Structure 1
């Protein structure tokens, strides 16, 4: 069968509509047999199972895939958060699809969704009605697939979403503290559609519809499959990279670390890079086909212009879905991120190159938001993965086509990168002209190093200065989120983040513009503890630096290793994938807590532990800096140790025995 080149821009044109917010279930994709029957569908082509509640909004993956298939003539239904504990009626109720089952654990990796960085069970779930915990299992991709394979052994199963995408090759699982093979080995699925899946899911559907067998479909971009070991190339060449086998990675952590460098570099190539291969066993190997080239503006517009209701399905009437509340009056203007932060999976999932929507598409969605019945005049976010990368890319596209840099901003902004914020400013101005809109805000994180970078091109530098001023004056809803992540240059270098000096510069600008305009807005920085390379001394300095800025930190987190990031590979192996050098990592709960306590130096309950830590790491100079009112701890400790010594001396059995011996008379 000849392979078809699928372009999502070929989807049937959708009329510009203003969604109706009644309880007409036909406006949503069906979720029950009754809804399927009401639409007159008969047998469905594709049935999607999702670990999230069904919200018909372009920020929710199942809705995007469902609407994309629907727009191309396929009959699609969604089963949100199926019950896997009972008689499995949720898995049976819609019967057997003609083409395939689609599975996604949801918008987050299920283990991040379920557990904290300390591996404690969370009490809520933002993607579930009422925030209720326990509506999905651990590893839903595996659990759902096992159930469907048992019930319908002959129906193809395709997995997508963050969980499957980031686990497509051998990966470290923090929650089980072990190296696991590709999820293809653990779950009885036929294929992974990794990353943003509109194009690959259409290719899969078209080829199955045309009579191809799922086992014979091995060449679709942005998919991963298991193949017989005989297909494994003998060696790496221009088009194929043979990674270290899973069994060897189990024996030698350095080999797993070396694999990741290839995985990241190929994912960051404009043309999708080479095909990746990894041997699983004596019989099988994993083949990961290259990513698609970035979506064109026309293609990404088609995805966002589909007739989403932008509302949760009526089955949830009266119930609040926290994740939806956060994005209900927001819109995303682009995909991709060229920041390349070591701890982030955005570029691995969406790509490094920016795919930007047209001004017309953004304005169309903004108008739809203003027509929502609960709209109060404020758009909460004109954003994206990084809020201010809209419309950006290389001046010379030819250089971008051969580039394998994981970050366009680290260690310094690429000279070929067009950092002009002109297009973004135009969007802000056009959106703010819409009737019924009082104000639009930027709720996504802003890369201040990008906005403040001096290019030497006067027009660009002037526009970017205007952007910073416009952002701070008109698009901050009281609090602006930025992510310096740390204050130590050594740690920041491992994170692929700019020096903390740039935060000082941005804060100075922020304060100056606020003062000039009579504003009292807050700058909210994000910080991470226990990141690879970070020591207690680094955290002590972070505490001192932020205290001197007058900050009591709120947005903080302990580093959580998640599959397919540089930071996770360092955490697991102890070595940097690019340099091969050993890197210190805080891995025990005690070491992690010793670092985390410095975020909350202002809590008196943490003071004794912090002072003790500062003496242990020879940073007594910071005791007075953090606690000016504190007495000399060394004197306190000396008295305490002397008292303890005397108590031990008194209670020592040998000393007691000597004291109890009768004295000899002279």
Structure 2
């Protein structure tokens, strides 16, 4: 346990004997002192270096005095929008407002503004005009250069300019924030702090970082903001360059020009943390709970999911096009030691609320416990290919032995009944491992009735744009999973995550996915429509219609009605979707899937069971087809019901 929460009021400062804070950290989330929350890590890292840090959580952005409750900090204000981008936190992909905010006390909505980093930055500037302001967290990190903003349907400037901040600390930020603090402490003006990896700054003079284009030490000039606004193809070109410069070993400095001679400059990323550094960060004195002032409001819902989970790793070499991890955490996997994780688990078992179940041991991808190959830690990741896509790299080291040993140690701890894995298994990496002992132990010990995996789609043109393995790989995984369950006497299901309307998906591919689900006998209860969030390959495709890596033109479904049709096809058994599915099948030229045969998705007529349908059912032959279809429906419904019951029981 920790040694007390950081100050959130003047009274706290007096109690802790602090006359003046070095940093005031403004956050869009509730104050939760747990290492699953970015603000907790950054504030504790600074505290460990001897700095006094205070927290202002969810200030009233309509009142500039709300930003001054802890006074003027000696060195700087820090800003984070929260663990999620504030716009994703607030809105569904449809644009409808969400009804709950898991990162706010009591799950209440409306406690933070849209585009929180920008609003908080301007709020500080109105109250303290000359104070250094450093922004970070996922929202600032993924908006560090010009980016497409789905909610405004426009290309927006770097958040550094719109927030009026001085610096962005992008990525995970532990190293860069310490270097920034030390530079400020030494008396360096914030405008002169332009040399720290993992930061973005603004300037009007780039003469010192540019030169001959072939010089690997000189900056790369990206297309200007003006060019990108007028020519979306230029944005695709720019993003392709950014994508190839996210590695700390090979990444170049990037420069983006704005009007009035302003340049936004991105330094290369920070180097990955060593295991010792990771261990030190997770050993800091976190309280591992939300601030006690939230108790009367019902606590902070987001803590429930992570309170009894263990973070094992960072970084992901999976390379999914719709994921921003490549831009935020990077592709190089960084891990904690077994000893560090076991110490945390042992402390967890002493918590009065612990019931014997560790909910998760993982990270962005649970079964990535070491870099994909040895050369990454010396030379960085490859610029011209992915580790797993389209097929595993010949240099890939697929090995689960370290992870398997860690899980065995956790299972053996006194007080631990079960250790689950919920943060996601990369199934193609699992199959690439010639030793299936981890796969067997996964099925035997670490599944709560159902295993969630993410094939996302099954159509090859869509999988290609997603950066996901071909369908045959997932089919092999399913067969092996079922075989192991049978051998071990288990009755555990697979729950596949599926996505509709991803760039590259036409109605043809959406129908192909529906047919796959029909043959599988499974209908997902929830479907994720593609959500264009900042700084992903898929979002650039959505905005420009171009694959920024290959330069290929890509079909993009932007029409809300077509989006509804693609989503409805995945849930074709739902009677409410009948009209949309019928329209989609007719547009796709697949009338053969409308009828009473076992392969049909829907029956004829306007709605299932209407007068037209009833008349045709009276046909003797169609009665037989309809009985087959009904039996098929019942099997699927029974399977879905079993999955729900198991999930509810385990939960």
TM-score where L is the length of structure 1 = 0.88
Measured after TM superposition, the shift of residue 628 of structure 1 is 6.5
| CA distance 1:515–1:258, shift in 2 (3 Å) | same
Judge conservation of contact 2:372–2:387 (CA < 8 Å) in 1.
no
Aligned match for 2:447, one of 464, 476, 490: 476
Give the SS at the match of 1:523: strand
Judge conservation of contact 1:159–1:191 (CA < 8 Å) in 2.
yes
Aligned match for 2:290, one of 303, 309, 312: 312
Judge conservation of contact 1:333–1:362 (CA < 8 Å) in 2.
yes
Instruction: Give distance in 1, aligned partners of 2:9 and 2:406.
Output: 40
- Residue in structure 1 matched with residue 23 of structure 2 by the alignment: 46
Residue 563 (str. 1) matches residue 538 (str. 2): no
Instruction: Give distance in 2, aligned partners of 1:49 and 1:58.
Output: 17
Residue 575 (str. 1) matches residue 546 (str. 2): yes
| CA distance 1:406–1:183, shift in 2 (3 Å) | farther
Measured after TM superposition, the shift of residue 629 of structure 1 is 7.3
Q: Deviations over 1:378-423 (max 9, x none)?
A: 0000111001001243134478536214631101111112111010
Query: What stretches of structure 2 of length at least 5 have no aligned partner?
Result: 614-651
Q: Deviations over 1:554-613 (max 9, x none)?
A: 342111111111111111111111221211000121121121111211111212321232
Instruction: Give distance in 1, aligned partners of 2:374 and 2:425.
Output: 22
- Residue in structure 1 matched with residue 165 of structure 2 by the alignment: 189
Measured after TM superposition, the shift of residue 207 of structure 1 is 0.8
1:170-209 → structure 2 map (5 Å cutoff): 170-209=146-185
Q: Deviations over 1:12-50 (max 9, x none)?
A: xxxxxxx27xxxxx6111211111111101100011010
Measured after TM superposition, the shift of residue 625 of structure 1 is 5.2
- Residue in structure 2 matched with residue 645 of structure 1 by the alignment: none
Aligned match for 2:510, one of 512, 527, 539: 539
1:285-364 → structure 2 map (5 Å cutoff): 285-318=263-296, 319-364=298-343
- Residue in structure 2 matched with residue 61 of structure 1 by the alignment: 38
Measured after TM superposition, the shift of residue 257 of structure 1 is 0.2
Instruction: Give distance in 1, aligned partners of 2:565 and 2:182.
Output: 55
Instruction: Give distance in 1, aligned partners of 2:359 and 2:330.
Output: 25
Give the SS at the match of 1:153: coil
Give the SS at the match of 1:482: strand
| CA distance 1:514–1:276, shift in 2 (3 Å) | same
Give the SS at the match of 2:454: strand
- Residue in structure 1 matched with residue 405 of structure 2 by the alignment: 426
Measured after TM superposition, the shift of residue 517 of structure 1 is 2.6
Residue 435 (str. 1) matches residue 425 (str. 2): no
- Residue in structure 2 matched with residue 403 of structure 1 by the alignment: 382
- Residue in structure 1 matched with residue 626 of structure 2 by the alignment: none
| CA distance 1:503–1:402, shift in 2 (3 Å) | closer
| CA distance 1:625–1:52, shift in 2 (3 Å) | farther
- Residue in structure 2 matched with residue 10 of structure 1 by the alignment: none
Judge conservation of contact 2:593–2:602 (CA < 8 Å) in 1.
no
Give the SS at the match of 1:77: strand
| CA distance 1:37–1:461, shift in 2 (3 Å) | same
Measured after TM superposition, the shift of residue 491 of structure 1 is 0.5
- Residue in structure 2 matched with residue 213 of structure 1 by the alignment: 189
Residue 91 (str. 1) matches residue 64 (str. 2): no
Instruction: Give distance in 1, aligned partners of 2:526 and 2:494.
Output: 11
- Residue in structure 2 matched with residue 155 of structure 1 by the alignment: 131
- Residue in structure 1 matched with residue 434 of structure 2 by the alignment: 461
RMSD of Structure 2 on Structure 1 (CA): 2.0
Instruction: Give distance in 1, aligned partners of 2:457 and 2:112.
Output: 34
Deviates more, 1:45-54 or 1:587-596: 587-596
1:638-657 → structure 2 map (5 Å cutoff): none
- Residue in structure 1 matched with residue 140 of structure 2 by the alignment: 164
Q: Deviations over 1:131-169 (max 9, x none)?
A: 111010001111111111111112100000111111111
- Residue in structure 2 matched with residue 389 of structure 1 by the alignment: 368
- Residue in structure 1 matched with residue 55 of structure 2 by the alignment: 78
Judge conservation of contact 1:490–1:533 (CA < 8 Å) in 2.
yes
Query: What stretches of structure 1 of length at least 5 have no aligned partner?
Result: 1-18, 21-25, 454-459, 641-666
- Residue in structure 2 matched with residue 113 of structure 1 by the alignment: 89
Measured after TM superposition, the shift of residue 547 of structure 1 is 2.2
- Residue in structure 2 matched with residue 102 of structure 1 by the alignment: 78
Give the SS at the match of 1:144: helix
Judge conservation of contact 2:250–2:379 (CA < 8 Å) in 1.
no
Q: Deviations over 1:477-501 (max 9, x none)?
A: 1121110000101100111101122
Q: Deviations over 1:605-659 (max 9, x none)?
A: 212321232122112233345547724899x99x99xxxxxxxxxxxxxxxxxxx
Judge conservation of contact 2:20–2:73 (CA < 8 Å) in 1.
yes
Q: Deviations over 1:347-406 (max 9, x none)?
A: 210010001111111111111211111000000001110010012431344785362146
| CA distance 1:625–1:50, shift in 2 (3 Å) | farther
- Residue in structure 2 matched with residue 11 of structure 1 by the alignment: none
- Residue in structure 2 matched with residue 16 of structure 1 by the alignment: none
Judge conservation of contact 2:457–2:499 (CA < 8 Å) in 1.
yes
Instruction: Give distance in 1, aligned partners of 2:451 and 2:513.
Output: 20
- Residue in structure 1 matched with residue 647 of structure 2 by the alignment: none
| CA distance 1:388–1:230, shift in 2 (3 Å) | closer
Instruction: Give distance in 2, aligned partners of 1:105 and 1:625.
Output: 51
Instruction: Give distance in 2, aligned partners of 1:29 and 1:272.
Output: 38
Give the SS at the match of 2:255: strand
Residue 274 (str. 1) matches residue 260 (str. 2): no
TM-score where L is the length of structure 2 = 0.90
- Residue in structure 2 matched with residue 663 of structure 1 by the alignment: none
Judge conservation of contact 2:573–2:601 (CA < 8 Å) in 1.
no
Instruction: Give distance in 2, aligned partners of 1:235 and 1:594.
Output: 52
